[in-house]
Structure 1
Amino acid sequence: MTGRITPVEPRDAATVLLVRQADPGLEVYLLRRVPSMRFAPGMYVFPGGSVDPRDRDHGIRWAGPSPREWARTLGVDEASARALVCAAVRETFEESGVLLAGPSATEVVADTRGDDWEEDRRALVDHSLSLAEFLDRRNLVLRADLLRPWSRWITPVMEPRRYDTRFFVAVLPEGQQTRDVGGEADHVAWMAPDEAVRRWRAGELAMLPPTVANLNGLTGCATPEEVLEVEREIIPVQPEFRESAGGITLIVPDGVDYPL
């Protein structure tokens, strides 16, 4: 806070709010990070993670808005836009078993629960297989049109591990099912956004501010279709720590949809 230490440069990351229709209303997929994780241990989060250098591979098969179009939407260069969208698709598959890809630009994989899919998922996790190699092996096309931009959050400068995270939303593809894949998570759940926020307020669910704020942004939507139709301006949000009489307080910028 005194400026004597240079802040860590944030790493690019992508996170996906995976939603589905429930009876009644909307549900979003959450997973709880294992207590041993160095970043956000024990916190409920959405599927996501850091961009892998191989997410920039130009050879990846692609359908939907081009990387150039995503670059304009996300406010980054074309290579970074490609990497962020690829990371969003890869991380969603790694952490939920849901794959936003299909055999053509108008189709999506119907089921990913077989042992062969699990073998590929594990290979992506341990980096022995890249997303481009995975899609090419299965003759699949990445469905960039199944993602919508939602928000952008940057970790406060005082944190030793920092991320510049783009949040996307996507609807659970018809026929696919999420599954508890273990690894970085010890519990998963589908939950109504307002219920998740209520349980956070009650101290039942531990969450970081970006998770809570993004959940709160979903509470006005009753269906997945309404979520996809929401027009959101992607403005970087970077909370900061401030010193007060009561100690150090985390402050979320004015105008951010953060429930109190």
Structure 2
Amino acid sequence: MGERARDILAGRVRPVPARDAATVMLLRDSSQGLRVYMLRRQSTMAFAAGAYVFPGGSVDPRDADHAVAWAGPSPREWGELLGAEEAIARALVCAAVRETFEESGVLLAGPSEDSVVEDTTGDDWEADREALIGRSLAFADFLDKRGLVLRSDLMRPWAHWITPEVESKRYDTRFFAAALPPGQRTRDVGGEADRVAWVLPAEGVAAGQRGEMFMLPPTYTALTELAEFATTEDALAAERRIVPYMPRIAEVGEEIHLVLPETTYGLPGKML
């Protein structure tokens, strides 16, 4: 990793392009306070193995399909919020809703622009979820056959992180926040995760500091920010200014360091 970093700094190697991706912080209230849904990625994964993350993944080219039934802020409005072109914003919002369903079973969509699906359990839903994961079913077709409308108004923009240039797998990720819809529930759907949990943000931050929960800097930062809110309503009502953050690499003496943005709340950088 150190030699690759030096080659990138010297311009001998070009960084891998970052793929557009989306992740969603699903929130719900409990007697102990606000909780967020997290998954632990399997240790065999090529990216962020063993890390606690929120549901999410890279954009499927079909996520930009104009056939997706849509309610709430338009792709153009989302583009203004996310600092992205309209087509990219459309794909990011669709990817966020699709990936959340794929990885948690929660669907931010409904039969009308002011309703939401109450139950996504059952063999037929599971078959559709597997088809979406396998890419044999496009998200637009999934919504169409069920007569559903994507509810973009159920999400709020939260953050924008880009994987450091030194990494061989890179993502340009927008973070969203959304409340768990009434009547729906998450379930352990397997796949890329080997554990799921509803986490109190402050406890997650403390576990990360103790080394009990491995998290990448964007996840740690998001948990730290969520810990400031008592309820889901408070978190979703917060004003967010979306600024892209990308940890950078720097050579200090003969050592290569990953330098984190100040927004990571004191999380130390690391030597590569």
Kept in 2, the 8 Å contact 1:216–1:259? The answer is no
**Aligned residue number for residue 7 of structure 1:** 15
**Aligned residue number for residue 43 of structure 1:** 51
Select which of 30, 33, 55 maps to 1:22. 30
SS of the residue aligned with 1:250?
Answer: strand
CA distance in 1, matches of 2:251, 2:153: 44
Where does the alignment leave 5 or more consecutive residues of structure 1 unmatched? none
SS of the residue aligned with 2:10?
Answer: coil
1:166 and 2:177 correspond: no
Kept in 1, the 8 Å contact 2:218–2:264? The answer is no
Kept in 2, the 8 Å contact 1:194–1:219? The answer is yes
**Aligned residue number for residue 221 of structure 2:** 213
**Aligned residue number for residue 66 of structure 2:** 58
**Aligned residue number for residue 107 of structure 1:** 115
How far is the alpha carbon of 1:257 from its aligned partner?
4.2
CA shift digits 1:121-180 (9 cap, x unpaired):
000000000110000010000000000000000000111111000000000001000001
Letter in 1 for 2:79: A
**Aligned residue number for residue 233 of structure 1:** 241
How far is the alpha carbon of 1:251 from its aligned partner?
1.4
How far is the alpha carbon of 1:99 from its aligned partner?
0.2
**Aligned residue number for residue 140 of structure 2:** 132
**Aligned residue number for residue 80 of structure 2:** 72
Where does the alignment leave 5 or more consecutive residues of structure 2 unmatched? 1-8, 268-272
After the TM superposition, which parts of structure 1 deviate over 4 Å for at least 4 consecutive aligned residues? none
Kept in 2, the 8 Å contact 1:209–1:258? The answer is no
How far is the alpha carbon of 1:258 from its aligned partner?
2.7
Percent identity at matched positions? 61
How far is the alpha carbon of 1:76 from its aligned partner?
1.1
How far is the alpha carbon of 1:209 from its aligned partner?
0.4
1:141 and 2:149 correspond: yes
SS of the residue aligned with 1:221?
Answer: coil
CA shift digits 1:74-131 (9 cap, x unpaired):
1111111100000000000000000000000110000111111111000000000011
CA shift digits 1:37-74 (9 cap, x unpaired):
11001110000000000000001100000111101111
Letter in 2 for 1:35: S
SS of the residue aligned with 2:13?
Answer: coil
Count of paired positions: 259
CA distance in 2, matches of 1:121, 1:244: 48
* Alignment RMSD (CA, Å): 1.1
SS of the residue aligned with 1:188?
Answer: strand
1:122 and 2:130 correspond: yes
CA distance in 2, matches of 1:155, 1:91: 19
Task: Report the TM-score, using the length of structure 2 for normalisation.
Answer: 0.93
